[in-house]
Structure 1
Amino acid sequence: MFELVEPIATVTFSEVPNEAFLALGMRNYWDGYFAGRAAPLGMAPAEAVHAVFYNFAAGEVARHIPWVWGKITPREAIAVRERSSAAALRQMIGELADSPALAPAADLATRAAVSAPTEGRALYAGLRALDVPAEPIARLWHAATLLREHRGDGHNTALLAHGIGGTEAHVLMALSVGMRAEEFGRIHHLPRPQLAAVVDGLRGRGLVDAAGGFTEAGRQIRKRIEALTDELAAPAYEVLTADELDVLIAGLEPIAAAVQAVDD
């Protein structure tokens, strides 16, 4: 389900939404990112957004929040994000936007998305408080975003339970795809001494070897984190019968594939 939901939800980080936020006075991509994604939390200070998002380096959130709220309100950001994300999704999937399978998939995804537990999941709870869009494309994107952030909140819990900090999580992610930490997109911009200190900390705990790669202990802790993340995400889908889940998967597969084809 993650592999089907993630591409649909993350159209919100593509060019159409980015341009929509820039048109409203955002200075760069990250202004729009933080305005749109943090908006369900209201006027939360940078410290709170940093805690909820979990994996940004110290000070990164504060470069954008609360500055963005001088240009746009959270309510406006929510509306811009929904409208532009739906437009981006429609553009990416082409004729599938008018497929008879889309509305049932959107309905089933929404049932799952609004049924999950909110306890301990601040960003998901904020999204749950929003109105569900009526238009099928927008409803599908909204449901995918709810499911993504529900899983993301659970992932942060799994990281915390295993003692892995936000930047450390990116290092482990980089190693899992065969990249060195300093090559990975989300952290390659960090000062080399800062990133080296994070890697050294993981090495001191036996998770990274002398060459900067995974140890067996590192592989196992990442495997446990991913397994717990999946386990914590599963309750969202328990409201659906096996047949309904099959219908949802069949409806999402071509849509997710179309989005990924555009990204590729």
Structure 2
Amino acid sequence: MGRTRVDSTTHIARRMYELLEPICLVTYLADECNEEMAALGHRTYWDGYFASRAAPLGRVPAEVVHAAFYSFAEGEAARHIPSAWETIPPEASLAARERGSVASLRRILGDELADSAGLVRAADLITKAARSAPTEGRVMYAGMRTLAVPSDPVARLWHSATMLREHRGDGHIAALVGARIGGTQAHVLSALDMGIHPAESFGRIHHLPRKRLDAVMDRLRERGLIDADGHFTDAGRETKQRIETLTDELAAPPYDALTPVELDELMTELQPITARLVATGSQ
């Protein structure tokens, strides 16, 4: 039996996620971005993270950032927003994030890849896709769309990959909301999906108060998504898979802007770039 259009589009979206995510991860894992943020005056990693990632939304209150980011526990955004912007303009944090990310990519890729015709072509094609999707219901993506696209090919590749990451993230949040899975609950399901047990030890949530984590786990047990020992039930695995499948479906529209030939070309040109980044852990 042939592959349906939905199967095809979700396959494309998943493959593009695999190819683009290592490009975006340098922002969060490599040293250069942290160094740029520290040089600006941000006191901690999370000050720089919230200040730069939320900046495309404008000077919105912490409650808006909390809603847009979704996966952070109550009160975490408020520890950094708006205080991180009081002495450092959002635009400065945005520029520092781009400088650091581009410097990381150039260091990891080396001149051979960073200055290659293949990277230039990949940057052009990914920008075409990233600028094509509707913005309705995509808060973080819409914020990124308001920013100017850099002229430097490496910066353009990073910028447009990050734009698509936020587009995918907005869709993932929609899938989670539809499944009635809260942000901390989503981290629990992700931890279990990665084989982390107990899920409460996962790095994104282990710092939360024990009482809060217990309440999250109890709610998942009440819904039959995890068992008494904190492992997935069949219903939990099915719920997680439905969320991921819908996330892929919702992430597919940008790639409709590319012809089949362009899409194949983009994937081909991205492969050596992604392979180099994966080999270093995007660090």
- TM normalised by structure 2 equals 0.91
The answer to whether the 8 Å contact 1:24/1:71 transfers is: no
Q: What is aligned with 2:40? A: 24
Distance of 1:239 and 1:186 partners within structure 2: 35
Match of 1:225 among 236, 243, 248: 243
- 2:217 corresponds, among 183, 199, 217, to 199
* 1:215 alignment partner in structure 2: 233
Matched letter for residue 130 of structure 2: A
Q: In the alignment, which of 87, 95, 99 is matched to residue 79 of structure 1?
A: 95
Superposition misfits of 4+ residues, deviation over 3 angstroms: none
The residue number in structure 2 matching 1:5 is: 20
State the partner residue of 2:200.
182
**Structure 2 CA distance for aligned equivalents of residues 178 and 156 of structure 1:** 22
Which residue of structure 1 aligns with residue 10 of structure 2? none
In 1, Cα distance between the equivalents of 2:280 and 2:35?
18
Query: How much does 1:187 deviate?
Result: 0.5
| 1:255 partnered with 2:270 | no
Aligned to 2:137: 120
What SS class does the counterpart of residue 219 from structure 1 fall into?
helix
Q: After the TM superposition, which residues 78-97 of structure 1 pair with which residues of structure 2 at under 5 Å, given as runs?
A: 78-94=94-110, 95-97=112-114
C-alpha root-mean-square deviation of aligned residues, in Å? Answer: 0.9
- Superposed, which structure 2 residues align to 1:140-159 within 5 Å? 140-159=157-176
2:36 touches 2:99 (CA, 8 Å); kept in 1? no
2:187 — aligned with what? 170
Number of aligned residues: 264
How far apart in 1 are the matches of 2:35 and 2:99? 12
C-alpha deviation, 1:64, in angstroms:
0.5
Identity of aligned residues (%): 62
Q: Is the 8 A contact 2:113 2:273 kept in 1?
A: yes
Per-residue Cα deviation, 1:214-244 (whole angstroms, up to 9, x for no partner): 0000000110000100000000100101110
CA apart distance, 1:71? 2.4
Which deviations, in whole Å up to 9, do the C-alpha atoms of 1:144-185 show, x marking residues without a partner?
A: 001100000000000000100000000000010111212211
Is 1:44 paired with 2:72? no
Tell me if the contact between 1:26 and 1:71 (Cα under 8 Å) persists in the aligned partners: no
**1:95-131 deviation per Cα after TM superposition (whole angstroms, max 9, x unaligned):** 3102220100000000000001110011100100110
Q: Distance in 2 between matches of 1:227 and 1:121?
A: 18
Question: Is 1:39–1:77's contact at 8 Å kept on the other side of the alignment?
Answer: yes
Q: Greater RCO between the two (CA within 8 Å, min separation 6)? A: 2
Q: Secondary structure at the match of 1:238?
A: helix
Which residue of 2 is the match for residue 104 of structure 1?
A: 121
TM-score computed with the length of structure 1 as normaliser: 0.98
Secondary structure (helix, strand or coil) at the match of 2:231 reads: coil
Q: CA deviation at 1:92?
A: 1.3
**Structure 2: gaps of 5 or more residues:** 1-15
